[in-house]
Structure 1
Amino acid sequence: MSKAQRERDRAAARRIVEQQKAAAKRRRVTVWTSVAVVAVLVIAGLIGWGVYANQNKTDASSVATPSVAVDDGTAFAVGTGPVTIDLYEDFMCPICHQFETDSGATLNQLVADKKVTVRYHTVAILDDASNGTKYSTRAAGAAAEAAQEGKFKEYHDVLYANQPEENSDGLTDAKLIDLGKSVGLGDAFATAVNNKTYDAWVAKVTDTFASRGFNGTPTVVVNGKQLQGANGGVPTHDDLTKAVEAAEG
């Protein structure tokens, strides 16, 4: 083999070695880059989870739940009878007003006779029907403060007696406060209404309502079973009485 040939072979060998070194270096860089990327993603994920958890914690802690609320903090109980009636209603709902007109006296009598406990769930599914004022939420929040001060039923009834038309602006906060004064509520009530103290709580109650598979008001549930009237309509006072009698056994 000539000297020139040997030089060419050595040069080729050096190139191969250099190529192999370069390839090995690239593999090391790729591996460490991948490790770094994974580490960054893991750290970002942990940070993201921390932010999410903190946000959830903040959101949960921002819900002011009335201490008198029952059923996981979503309702106000009236009466002490053995049969439980859960009533889901929206203070803007005209059909809720009709149900109150037809069955309110029956409910009151069943409570007085100690046959039932009525749990009122004040939901807000008609906020869009008040021209942006969120009347359903505001009224339900005001009722929550009334309950906290021991005046839920009185305020509940006066709200229905003054129910605004659906798709109107609803009652102003000032009017909600005036109605509170008419049933003996004072400065603490006015502060809660003005500060929207229970707005987040109303949203929670409404979410719970939906999670239980309900989508319309009024919804009436007697001892865990939804009560409906003829053809799936709103139950009447007669339907209510019969359902309670059946539940009593």
Structure 2
Amino acid sequence: MQPQTPLPARVPAHAPQEGDGIAVGNGPVIIDAYIDFQCPFCRMFEKSSGPLLDAMVTEGQVTLVYHPMAFLDAMSTSRYSTRASAASGCASDGGAFMEYLYTLFDNQPPEGGPGLSDEELIALGLRVGLNDAFAACVRDGVHLDWPPYVTARAAERGVSATPTVLVEGAAVRPHPGLIRTAVAAALHHPA
């Protein structure tokens, strides 16, 4: 399906061909995880399902594609969802997307406030081993036009809430047992 929304001038490293996420791993089963770094339910999803997803990536069962959306920008006074998602793109450029994703959820600000500042987003990246190139990427807003694209593409696919999980394109409740079952079925009965 060709995207209706034009691709931004720059997409982060490790983006799939459509440019609307960050791919981790290279297994045969595709899991799409639509998240928002300000979404408390996404944080709970990552805490409960993250270890399973990491194991499936490590075991070569899945390609996990995170789609960091700007779904909750209206729930902050500083477009935090967009800024955090753009910073995650900078982290992907620096080869530390997953480490940054974990630390963003570990340091998730409450809805309704300004969220973390750009300098706080940079400090979290430096804490997980990213460098000055990451800091410059965030400060220069290199990927600020990427989260709206990811969000628009998600809407085109019918995603209307976060977290949303698709296994081989089919919606699965974001629960580790249900994800495991769907992946096992896809591995044993490929389309």
TM-score, length-scaled by structure 2: 0.92
Instruction: Specify the SS of the correspondent of 1:125.
Output: coil
State how 1:99-248 maps to structure 2 within 5 Å: 99-131=45-77, 133-228=78-173, 235-248=174-187
Shift of 1:61: 8.2
For 2:121 and 2:42, how far apart are their aligned partners in 1? 19
Asked if the contact 1:122–1:205 (Cα under 8 Å) also holds between the matched residues in 2, the reply is: yes
For 1:189 and 1:109, how far apart are their aligned partners in 2? 27
Asked if the contact 2:20–2:67 (Cα under 8 Å) also holds between the matched residues in 1, the reply is: yes
Asked if the contact 2:25–2:58 (Cα under 8 Å) also holds between the matched residues in 1, the reply is: yes
Count of residues in correspondence between the two structures: 184
Asked if the contact 1:90–1:123 (Cα under 8 Å) also holds between the matched residues in 2, the reply is: yes
For 2:122 and 2:12, how far apart are their aligned partners in 1? 18
For 2:102 and 2:167, how far apart are their aligned partners in 1? 21
Instruction: Specify the SS of the correspondent of 1:199.
Output: coil
Corresponding residue number in structure 2 for 1:85: 31
Asked if the contact 1:63–1:198 (Cα under 8 Å) also holds between the matched residues in 2, the reply is: no
For 1:106 and 1:61, how far apart are their aligned partners in 2? 31
Cα offsets for 1:84-105 (capped at 9, x unmatched) = 1000100000000010111111
Structure 1 spans left out of the alignment, 5+ residues: 1-58, 229-234
Deviant stretches of 4+, over 6 Å: none
Shift of 1:60: 5.6
Shift of 1:203: 1.0
Higher Cα radius of gyration: 1
Structure 1, 122-131 or 68-77: larger mean CA deviation = 68-77
For 2:88 and 2:52, how far apart are their aligned partners in 1? 21
> What amino acid is the match of 2:93?
Q
Cα offsets for 1:26-76 (capped at 9, x unmatched) = xxxxxxxxxxxxxxxxxxxxxxxxxxxxxxxxx968632224311411111
Asked if the contact 2:7–2:19 (Cα under 8 Å) also holds between the matched residues in 1, the reply is: no
Summarize the Cα distance change of 1:62–1:212 in structure 2 as closer, same or farther, 3 Å threshold. Answer: closer
Shift of 1:167: 1.3
Summarize the Cα distance change of 1:186–1:207 in structure 2 as closer, same or farther, 3 Å threshold. Answer: same
Summarize the Cα distance change of 1:168–1:216 in structure 2 as closer, same or farther, 3 Å threshold. Answer: same
TM-score, length-scaled by structure 1: 0.71
Structure 2 spans left out of the alignment, 5+ residues: none
Cα offsets for 1:187-221 (capped at 9, x unmatched) = 11111111211111111111101111111000100
For 1:182 and 1:202, how far apart are their aligned partners in 2? 23
Summarize the Cα distance change of 1:168–1:243 in structure 2 as closer, same or farther, 3 Å threshold. Answer: same
> What amino acid is the match of 2:149?
K
Q: Which has the higher contact order (CA 8 A, sep 6+)?
A: 2
For 1:117 and 1:66, how far apart are their aligned partners in 2? 17
